Amino acid sequence: MSDDVLRIEGLHTDIAQYHILEGVDLSVPRGAVTMLLGRNGVGKTTTLRTIMGHWAAKSGSITYDGQDITAWPTPARARAGIGFVPEDMGIFTDLTVEENMVLAAASGPLDATRLETVFAAFPPLRTFWKSEAGNLSGGQKQMLSIARAMAEERKLYLIDEPTKGLAPAIVSTMAGALRELKRAGASILLVEQNFAVAKALGDHAAVMDDGRIVWTGAMAELAADAGLQERLMGLSMEVTG
Amino acid sequence: MTAAPDHAPTMTRLSAADRLAKAAPFLLVPVLILAGFLAIGTTSSWLTLTVSGLAMGMMIFVMASGLTLVFGLMDVINFGHGAFVSLGAFVGISVLLALPGWTAEPSLALNLAAVLLAIACAMVLTGLSGWAFERVIVRPVYGAHLKQILVTVGGLIVIEQLIHVIWGPDEIFLNRPETLQGAVTFAGAALEKYRILAVVFGLAIFLAMRLILRRTKIGLIVRAGVQNGQMVESLGYRLRLVFIGVFVAGSALAGLGGVMWGLYQEVITAGMGERMMILVFIVVIIGGLGSVEGAFIGALLVGLMQNYIAFLEPKLALISNIGLMTAILMWRPQGMMPVVKAK
C-alpha cells in the first residue's frame, strides 16, 4: 500500500461555466505537511473543496486512505477522517465557542483530553468558552476554526489559508498549533500565502498554476531557490522567519 | 506542546445602545400591549383583545415555526405548507366529530383527551404527508426557487382538492368540547376558555422547541445548519436527513396549528391553510428567516396588532399586518432576528 494518505489523479472540476481544475495530480504523504502554493485564482481552494466534496469532480479520481472517495458525499468524507478548515473559517457565529466544539465532535461527546490539548494550543478559547463565536476577534475565530478540526482524531487535515489577515503574534500561535498537529503524526494539506509560514511548516510543496500542479518537490528545495519561486509563483522574496 | 504567546484577552462589554438593539425585538411585544392599553382605554376590552391576540399569535407561530426552519436549513420556499394546516384541521376535527361521547361530556379530562387524540392523529398524518411531499415534490427542485414556488403551489392545490374529494366541498362547522366553551370573567373582562388554553399550549410548544434547539445535539445541528449547512456537512453530519426530519416535524406542527385554528374559528374549509399562509409568511419574514424566536415574537405582534386594530379601526384591520411588516422591514431589512443572512 502506498504511503500517501491522499492521491489525486487527473482531477477536473467545473464551477458553473468555468473550468477551474484542469487535471490536478497530487499526492499527500502520510504524516507530513504538504503545502499547496500558487498565485491567487489558480485553483487551490477549489482543489480543497473538491477533495471535501463541496464541488463534484467532473473527471479524475480522489483516493483517500486506499479508498476511492470521488463519489462520496461530504459527510462520508468527514466521517472517514478528513478535517476541513475553510478559508472563511466557517464558524457558526450564533453558537457559543463551546457549542461549536461540541458540534465538531460528530462521533460522540467531546473528549476531555483532546479539549485540554486544544486549550493549550489556543488559550483564548478557554476564556471565551461560553461566549458567542460571532463576538470573537478574527484571530480567535481562526483559532476556533482549527480547534474544531482538532476536536476529533483525523487522518488528514485540509486547511485553507489559516494565517490570512492575522497579526504576527496570532500567526505564531497558528503555526505552533499546526506544528503540534504535525508532531502528533497528522497529515496536512495546507494552502498558505505566507511564505515564511510555508517554509517553516512544509515538508513537501506542490505549486499550482492554471488549474494544474506545475511543480512538486521538497519545501526546502523551493524555499532555497528564489529563481524557482519567481518562475513558479511570480515571487521573488527574501524568506524570513 | 508549543506555548502560545502570553496574552490575556478580554471581551469588551456591549454598549447600552448595542444591548438595547439586541433586546429590542423582545421589547416590542410588551410595548405593543402597552400601546394597545393606551389606545383602547378600557381595561376589560383591552384584556379580552390581548388574550385573543396572544392566542391567535400562538397558533400562527405553531404553523410558522416549521416553515422558517425549512427555509433556513435548505433554502426551500414551501408554498404548500398551508395544505398541512388544512389537512391537519380536517383530520383532527374528524376525530373530534367521531367522539361525541367524549366532547359532549362536561368533563375536562375527557374533553382534553379528545383534543389531544385529535391533535395526535392530525400530527401523525400531516407528518407522513410532509415526508411524501418532500420526497415527491420538493426533492427534485432543490436550489431552484422559481420551480419550488410553482411545484409547491401545485402540491397545495392537489392536497386541497383531495380534501374536497374525501370530506366534500362544504365547510364543516363544529362546537368546541363542552368544557372549552364559554368564557371566564377576570377583572371585568370575558376571556374565552379556549383562547386561554391556546395561549398556554402555544407557549408550551415554543418552550419545548427552544429547549430542543438549545439543549440537544440535534438542535445544535439544526441551528448550525441554518447558518452554514455546508460546514455542518463538512463536520460529518448528513444534513439531508436532518432536513427531512425538520420538514416532517414542520408539517406535523402545521397540522397541529390547523386543529387549533379549526377549534378557534369553529369552522374548517379546505382553503383555510392557504388563507393563513399570508399571515404565516408575514411572521416568517418579520421574524427573520430561520429564526424560531423571531417567528414567535413576529406571530405575537401579528396576532395582537390584528385584534387591536380590528377593534379600534375595523377598516384598517386587513392592512394592519402589511403595515407592521413594512415598518419592521424598514427598521431591520432582514427581519428582527435573522439567522439566515441574505442568500
Would you list the domain boundaries of chain B?
A: 42-331
Nearest CA in chain A to B241: A75
Q: Which amino acid, B119?
A: I
Cβ-nearest to B224 among A92, A128, A172:
A92
CB contact under 8 A, A74 and B220: no
Give contacts of B217 with chain A, Cβ < 8 Å: 102-103
Q: Is B247 on the interface with A (CB under 8 A)?
A: no
B301/B321 Cα distance (integer angstroms): 9
Work out the average pLDDT over B301-305: 96
Nearest to A54 by CA among B239, B247, B85, B333: B239
Give contacts of B8 with chain A, Cβ < 8 Å: 127
Q: Is A167 on the interface with B (CB under 8 A)?
A: no
Domain boundaries, chain A: 4-233
Work out the average pLDDT over A112-124: 91
Helix axes B43-74, B16-40, angle to 10 degrees: 140
- Identify the pLDDT of residue A238: 44
CB contact under 8 A, A103 and B232: yes
CB contact under 8 A, A103 and B236: no
Q: Is A99 on the interface with B (CB under 8 A)?
A: yes
- Identify the pLDDT of residue B1: 42
Q: What CATH number is given for B42-331 in this structure?
A: 1.10.3470
For residue B341, pLDDT over 70 is answered with: no
- Identify the pLDDT of residue A184: 87
Q: Is B15 on the interface with A (CB under 8 A)?
A: no
Lowest mean pLDDT among A214-228, B3-17, B132-146, B231-245: B3-17
CB contact under 8 A, B5 and A78: no
Q: What is the mean pLDDT of chain A?
A: 91
Work out the average pLDDT over A124-130: 94
> Other CB atoms closer than 10 Å to residue B324's CB: what's the count?
21
Q: Which residues contact B115 (CB under 8 A, 6 or more apart)?
A: B96, B177, B180, B259, B263
Work out the average pLDDT over A139-154: 92
Q: Retrieve residue A229's grid coordinates.
A: 519561486
Work out the average pLDDT over B29-49: 95
Q: Is B187 on the interface with A (CB under 8 A)?
A: no
- Identify the pLDDT of residue B342: 46
Nearest to A229 by CA among A38, A76, A55: A38
CATH topology of domain A4-233: Rossmann fold (3.40.50)
Cβ-nearest to A75 among B2, B7, B236:
B236
Q: Which residues contact B174 (CB under 8 A, 6 or more apart)?
A: B93, B96, B97, B262, B263, B266, B267, B268
Residue to substitute from B214, B223, B231, interface A, most A β-carbons within 10 A: B231
Of the pLDDT bands very low, low, confident and very high (cuts 50, 70, 90), residue A239 is very low
Of the pLDDT bands very low, low, confident and very high (cuts 50, 70, 90), residue B298 is very high
Q: Is B215 on the interface with A (CB under 8 A)?
A: no
CB contact under 8 A, A169 and B5: yes
Work out the average pLDDT over A111-140: 92
- Identify the pLDDT of residue B21: 80
ipTM of the complex: 0.91
b (16+ CB within 10 A) / e for A145-176: bbbbbbbbebbbbbbbbbbbebeeebbbbbbb
For residue B4, pLDDT over 60 is answered with: no
For residue B16, pLDDT over 90 is answered with: no
pLDDT, tens digit, 9 for 90 and up, residues B195-211: 999 999 999 999 999 99
Of the pLDDT bands very low, low, confident and very high (cuts 50, 70, 90), residue A237 is very low
Give contacts of A129 with chain B, Cβ < 8 Å: none
pLDDT, tens digit, 9 for 90 and up, residues B75-90: 888 999 999 999 999 9
* B168 φψ region: left (φ > 0), alpha (ψ -120 to 50), beta (else): left
- Identify the pLDDT of residue B142: 84
CB contact under 8 A, B9 and A127: yes
